[in-house]
Chain A
Amino acid sequence: MQTERRRRLTLSRLAPWLIGAAVIVAIMARIVFLVTQRDYNPSFFAGAMLQSLQLGSLYALIALGYTMVYGIIRLINFAHGEVFMVGAFISYYIFSRTPYAITWALMVAALSAFGLMYVVSLWRGRLTDPVVLGAGLLGFLSLTLTLSSSQLGWIAALLLSMLMTGVIGILLDRVAYRPLRGAPRISLLITAIAMSFFLQNAGVLAFTGNVTAYRPETSWTQTMQLQFAGGTIYASRVVILVLLLTIVLVVILNLFVTRTRLGKAMRASAQDPEVAQMMGIDVNRVIATTFLLGSMLAAAAGVLWGLSYGTLSQPAVMGLLPGIKAFAAAVVGGIGSLPGAVIGGLLLGFMENFFTALIPGVTQYRDTFAFALLILVLLVRPSGIVGEDLSEKV
């Protein structure tokens, strides 16, 4: 009989906690210093916190796509940042044409409702399932309503952009990645890079080459004032929208992955595609679903990005930095893990935004910092915070 030995506390196991504690203490000390010595109001930090949460949620939404794809086919989907860009621009071209004439609204809504039914039928199995029919009907009605109103146009843009970008994600997998299923992972990565380059330039071709103002007619983008600790926080209302929508989408994703057959198949394929296939799971369908979900989340992030910052930069560059930062977030959280992606996204948003608020003059190092963090985490702890060890062993 062996008694259960207590795991020894070694420095290497304690190190992450120690570092975390040290960082938190340092941040607190810095805040106290700034408030007492330089006369900063605490509401400034509360505002920075809100912005950090907003940015972090956006990163989390994009990071989920990276992490799901990596979890199943071990591919760093380099083109995911460009999928985000495509989602944002598609939504722009939809809402900027609202309100639609009722005939057009009906037609577009009918087509999209059918697409929605197809997506839901991935989960329910049949097109004639009551849930599928209900979703189709609901989608049809809500899209008709939102498309024919200029105030609600952005909702239609969100839904349609998610659907269309999801289809683009599936196409991406079908055209570029699926023919390479058996190939070495490096070939797959090169293809992903080529796809990213392709989408950047196709974006210039299809959308525009310029910076685009993204201002749908909605009251969500107005500024609100909050009283906090004797000061006023000026924040955009869109913060609330971003947080709410992120929570809703993450909960839906979580329900999908944990409660549905397809979600179960997805987890099985992530564990071991070969055995999953032996158990009768159509792995290709699972992968297509993964791309669909990841791209839909990226499109949602694109719409929220546009609402949050009011502009979309040129298609050729828009996806690169958010994409690579979201990838860094996925790695920080532990690639392959869904909660890890959310934690990592929030953490990265926090670091990027809050640190620049704490230390004036480091704004110019924001992007450098994201890359440095990515390199550091990959080198020191490739498994991330909550991830299993996926680092490459022999």
Chain B
Amino acid sequence: MPQDRTVRNALLTVAGLALLAIVLYLVQEQGGTKLQQVFALFAIWGTAAVSLNLINGTTGILSLGHHGFMLLGGYTTALLILPELNRERIATSARSLMNEFTLSLSVENWASKLGLEALAAPEALWLRFIVAMFIGGLVAAAFGLLVGIPSLRLRGDYLAIVTFGFGEIIRLLASTDMLSSFTNGSLGYTGVPGLVGKSLWWTFGVLAITVFFMSRLKFSSYGRALQGIREDEVAAQAMGINLAYNKVLAFTLSAFFAGVAGGLYVSWLSSARLDSFLFFLTFYFLVAVSVGGTGSVTGTLMGTALVVFVLQYGDPLEQTYPLTTWVFAGGVLLALAALGTFVYRGTLRLRPRLNAAVYLLAALALLTVIVSYVGPSFDWLQGDFRAFGLRRIFLAVLLIVIMVFRPSGVLGRAEFSWAWLLRERRDEPTDEERAQDDWMHKAAAPVGGDEPRAAAHPLLELGAKDEDNGAGGEIDARSNRAGRTQSDEGRET
């Protein structure tokens, strides 16, 4: 890349960061409460999603236990930082499950016992918060170590289920006698100070540290090792990568940042309750990682922005509308589906472009729209309807669509770059590179009949498979071999 572009990109980056800082300043000082909350939530979930990306994207292990890590970090932070007033309230409450000892666990107490008056002072709350969040992260990391150990024996979907099981076990145990003296059962704690979780500087500061750490890690020797494991475990092992150490390391680091994000999250919610840490949290992060780009830190942030936007500003979707509006919207969706199929067939050069599916969808769309207009005059479609949960359905559908049409996410593994944004062409290949390409094409040609096709564009492959339905199916030879030997595992997205 020429020198001037490097300079330009650096300048653009600095300008972008400065712009972000100005936006944050404006939101913090001028913006409404809702806007501040949304920004803070983006930073908190972004931290968690980026940490999930280390396992799911960089290491290629599907982990579904992130809500468990966040729960641990969140509860630890909340317990250590809970103000004295709220502790007394719990202690005097009849339904409290906590005891003397667990109620005395707080950074403030520890500081005054150690004689660190500066730390115990009321105005040093932020400092205590940092200590508490750090300890919360460590607790989560210790659990991450535990969860990482199964990854030495298991792979793929079984491992995913095991991580899911661990995440759920944490949540279930937290309400049993074993842990309820720490967690106060299903009541949880209320009154967690919002000082850190509601402040944009703190949340974005943590996010910035996480992003910096993760992107440095990705391109460090550790990150390369993790990516090697993702590509091919056997080859990575043959190259001298210690699989056990690296996998457990990935889990531990990821759990640490998830725990810190959990600490921020309870502060944002200003309460720690078990039903804030259900599986849907992990699902949202999974959507963020998968949509943005599995393995891409910036992609994950983009995905998080989308998820947070849909969940926080999607409430118009869930309001009460007349039934005719809903039917009309369904018709519009069907029409879009018809158009999408048409365009899709066009880009894949499938003929005829207007196949039966397009006609069927278009006819259905037309019918639905007509019904939505004609219906009321026949006493149909009276009344209103409220589509509760439509935001979540939208996210689920989005994830399915992404998995079907672009399994690696929008950015894939690539990071955001100015060249990508500005759609710059790469430099022309040199003569030497051209010669190498020619040689490769010649060398590859005779093998073509025997080996399965080299992976073309995923869309092209789908299209090709769509065409040979008559031959009895779409089971791809490549995938079946993978299904038996498992050598393809993790070579995904």
Contacts and interface: CB of A to CB of B under 8 A. Distances in A.
Interface of A: 74-76, 175-176, 178-187, 189-191, 193-195, 197-198, 200-202, 204-205, 209, 272-274, 277, 280-284, 316, 320, 324, 327, 364-365, 367-368, 371-372, 374-375, 378-379, 382, 391-394
30 contacts: A182-B476, A182-B479, A184-B488, A184-B489, A186-B60, A187-B403, A187-B492, A189-B157, A189-B160, A193-B286, A194-B283, A194-B396, A195-B400, A197-B392, A197-B396, A198-B396, A202-B393, A205-B393, A209-B388, A274-B480, A284-B473, A316-B389, A364-B177, A371-B169, A375-B150, A375-B162, A378-B162, A391-B154, A391-B158, A393-B485
B21 to A, nearest CB: 35
B118 interface: no
B251 interface: no
A374 B175 CA distance: 20
A184 B162 contact: no
B345 to A, nearest CB: 14
B478 A374 contact: no
B165 A374 contact: yes
Nearest to B150: A379
Contacts of B478: 182
B453 to A, nearest CB: 11
B297 to A, nearest CB: 19
B169 A368 contact: yes
B286 A382 contact: no
Nearest to B471: A277
Interface string B273-311: 000000110010011001000000000000000000000
Contacts of B290: 190
A283 B158 contact: no
A191 B483 contact: no
B387 interface: yes
A274 B156 contact: no
A391 B177 CA distance: 35
Name which of A193, A205, A274 has the most chain B CB atoms within 10 A of its CB: A193
A394 B475 contact: no
B475 A277 contact: yes
Given A190-B62, A283-B472, A284-B472, A392 B162 contact: no
B400 A186 contact: no
A187 B492 CA distance: 8
Contacts of A204: 388-389
Given A180-B403, A184-B489, A190-B403, A274 B477 contact: yes
B176 A364 contact: yes
A194 B389 CA distance: 14
Given A197-B280, A367-B172, A184 B491 contact: yes
A182 B465 contact: yes
A175 B172 CA distance: 33
A187 B286 CA distance: 11
B332 interface: no
Given A184-B488, A184-B493, A282 B150 contact: no
Given A76-B160, A274-B475, A371-B166, 19 more contacts: A76-B161, A175-B400, A183-B479, A184-B482, A184-B491, A185-B483, A186-B492, A187-B492, A190-B399, A191-B399, A193-B283, A194-B283, A195-B400, A274-B481, A320-B279, A368-B172, A375-B169, A378-B158, A392-B155
A281 B472 contact: yes
Contacts of B392: 197, 200-201
Contact of B407 (A187, A193, A197, A368): A187
Contacts of A189: 62, 157, 160
B336 interface: no
Contacts of B331: none
Contacts of A277: 472-473, 475
Which of A184, A324, A391 is most buried by chain B, counting CB atoms within 10 A of its CB?
A: A184
B487 interface: yes
Interface in B447-493: 461-462, 465, 472-493
A270 B465 CA distance: 21
Contacts of A274: 475, 477, 480-481
Given A183-B479, A185-B156, A190 B474 contact: no
7 A-B pairs with least C-beta separation: A182-B476, A184-B492, A198-B396, A194-B399, A201-B389, A274-B480, A371-B165
Interface in B166-187: 166, 168-169, 172-173, 175-177
B108 interface: no
A371 B172 contact: yes
A267 B480 CA distance: 16
Contacts of B482: 184
B397 interface: yes
A321 to B, nearest CB: 9
Quick one: which of A195, A274, A320 has the most chain B CB within 10 A? A274
A394 B485 contact: yes
Interface string B170-213: 00110111000000000000000000000000000000000000
B148 to A, nearest CB: 13
Given A176-B400, A194-B399, A201-B389, A185 B172 contact: no
B156 A368 contact: no
B160 A186 contact: yes
A205 B388 contact: yes
Contacts of A283: 472-473, 475
A26 B89 CA distance: 45
B381 interface: no
A122 to B, nearest CB: 16
B388 A378 contact: no
A13 B231 CA distance: 35
Interface string B62-104: 1010000000000000000000000000000000000000000
B404 A186 contact: no
B158 A198 contact: no
A194 B162 CA distance: 18
B386 to A, nearest CB: 9
B191 to A, nearest CB: 27
A199 to B, nearest CB: 8
A392 B486 contact: yes
A193 B388 CA distance: 20
B483 A273 contact: yes
A178 to B, nearest CB: 7
Contacts of A180: 403-404, 407
B472 A392 contact: no
A394 B157 CA distance: 15
Contact of A282 (B169, B173, B473): B473
Q: Give the one of A75, A186, A324, A371 with max B CB within 10 A.
A: A186
B351 interface: no
A240 to B, nearest CB: 33
B276 to A, nearest CB: 15
Contacts of B173: 368
Contact of A378 (B161, B286, B489): B161
Contacts of A205: 387-390, 393
Contacts of A190: 62, 286, 290, 399, 403
Contacts of B279: 320
B234 interface: yes
Given A191-B399, A205-B387, A277-B475, A186 B483 contact: no
B473 A379 contact: no
Contacts of B479: 181-184
B153 interface: yes
Contacts of B168: 324, 367, 371
B475 A182 contact: yes
